[in-house]
Chains A and B, each alone.
Chain A
């Protein structure tokens, strides 16, 4: 009896949620990006279709849909520093740290974001670089505004943060695709891509996909042994150096 009641509640919650929204069927080209010795960046394609929810009538699908895809990389603690002139020398004077700061953040949309939804709606859905969850300052709170703007600017200069307006293409009223460029220095780790469906300035549906970026093969072996077996890694580096030096001494005996 209890089980049936629970099932009914769960079902009705699902039902209500589905009734309010269209569905997104989304996929991507590469669930795993491998960084090897010749890695010079990679392109991922995201594509999907907007479909009616199960209970909706056939005419629930209209047009005027907008897609915004947010791709975020692994987070870390990042410090923004400002050089100040002290005693005639420029040195790092002030700093503000940010916890859980995404190391990669691209926002791809089919139109400029301000034509899709208002600032508030975007920010609530994490579609702004300065949304609250992505800026958790530590230390000098008074300067957070300025330092966070500068930090975002630095990330944008490295193509780690990027807004691509008109990056999503609609091939029909409901079928879309988008390409995301991962630069050569893309950080390793787990990524999440959240596709948002907007209509008339309101979020109608969203869907999350995960993918990961990993160094593979020899490079992965090197970076993991540098961390896990750092003494032997250093020792091997020294032996390699001595061997190279010895070999050159033998090869070009002067």
Chain B
């Protein structure tokens, strides 16, 4: 059954879209990530214009993070004060991101920046994750118990000025790194169509030393708020949010996530991380190929301004 997407102005099979959302939802439930970083590339590879893909996936990420954020909220696993700092800075980052998005789109370099951005972030994070996961699998095979690396109580970040107390996280840190992390995630998320959870969680753990009990919930709430704001910003600024596309993806992904979560209980942590790292690297390599290989057709076209609608 073909579904006409009013903003993308193409017809796609509705089952393909729900299936795509379902597959990505399954992976996001399995690995506990938002899935935007997989969904946006897949939509681009299946022929949806990159601006529409990026903007519509932000809507899907909102749906994907809502149920998670709610369940952490009920358990009290959210540091509201920390989240509000991250959200305010994140929304300002998103403003800059959406503004940059518009400029790059008009200059014809949006696809390039999206490809480069994915290549750099997915490539570096995928390599790090794979390296770490393989190391712990090898140690596991050798029969040694892996001593969980306990981060030191303080690093240079904790010496910065403008310190604020975050009671729930048991932290007393400078707001500068908090604001910087929030703004970077907002900027990247709005530009690349990713929630940024897979960057935010490590940043909160390793840079700010946020305790594990609140890190996931707080990051989910931040992703939810930033992506909600980004969806509205994209809708107003570039008018590339396709609600039909976003809704098909949401329906698929929230269902897929349930199956992914239950499947994830049968796999060990480091195996999961190695698997996720391989998927992340595969997407990065796909982008690298599109940048490095001689294109089959060097010519492309874009409509700059519409005629009579």
Q: Which residues of A contact B (CB under 8 A)?
A: 35-40, 74-85, 88-92, 95, 97, 100, 103, 147, 150-151, 153-155, 184-185, 187-190, 215, 219-220, 222-223, 226-227, 230-231, 233-238, 240-242, 244-249, 252, 254
Contact = CB atoms under 8 A, between A and B. Distances in A.
B302 A79 contact: yes
Contacts of B62: 238, 241-242, 245
A85 B10 CA distance: 30
A83 B298 contact: yes
A38 B2 contact: yes
A238 B301 contact: no
Nearest to A37: B4
A100 B295 CA distance: 29
A69 B232 CA distance: 45
Given A227-B239, A237-B243, A252-B258, A89 B292 contact: yes
- The B interface is mostly helix, strand or loop, or mixed, namely helix
Contacts of A219: 4, 6, 244
A90 B4 contact: no
Range of interface residues on B (Cβ < 8 Å): 35 or more
Contacts of A187: 9
Given A75-B307, A233-B243, 7 more contacts: A38-B2, A74-B306, A76-B306, A103-B307, A241-B246, A242-B228, A245-B65
A95 B302 CA distance: 10
Nearest to A234: B235
Interface of B: 1-4, 6-7, 9-11, 59-60, 62-68, 70-71, 108-109, 111-112, 116, 224, 228, 231-236, 239, 241, 243-244, 246-247, 250-251, 254-255, 257-258, 261, 290-295, 298-309
18 contacts: A39-B4, A77-B303, A80-B301, A90-B292, A90-B293, A91-B109, A92-B300, A155-B301, A188-B309, A223-B6, A226-B239, A234-B232, A234-B233, A237-B241, A244-B66, A245-B62, A246-B70, A248-B258
Given A82-B298, A91-B109, A189-B309, A226 B6 contact: yes
B291 A89 contact: yes
Nearest to A95: B108
B6 to A, nearest CB: 4
B1 A38 contact: yes
Contacts of B257: 248
Nearest to B110: A92
Interface centre among A97, A188, A245, A247 (most CB of B within 10 A): A245
Contacts of A88: 292
B301 A242 contact: no
Nearest to A238: B228
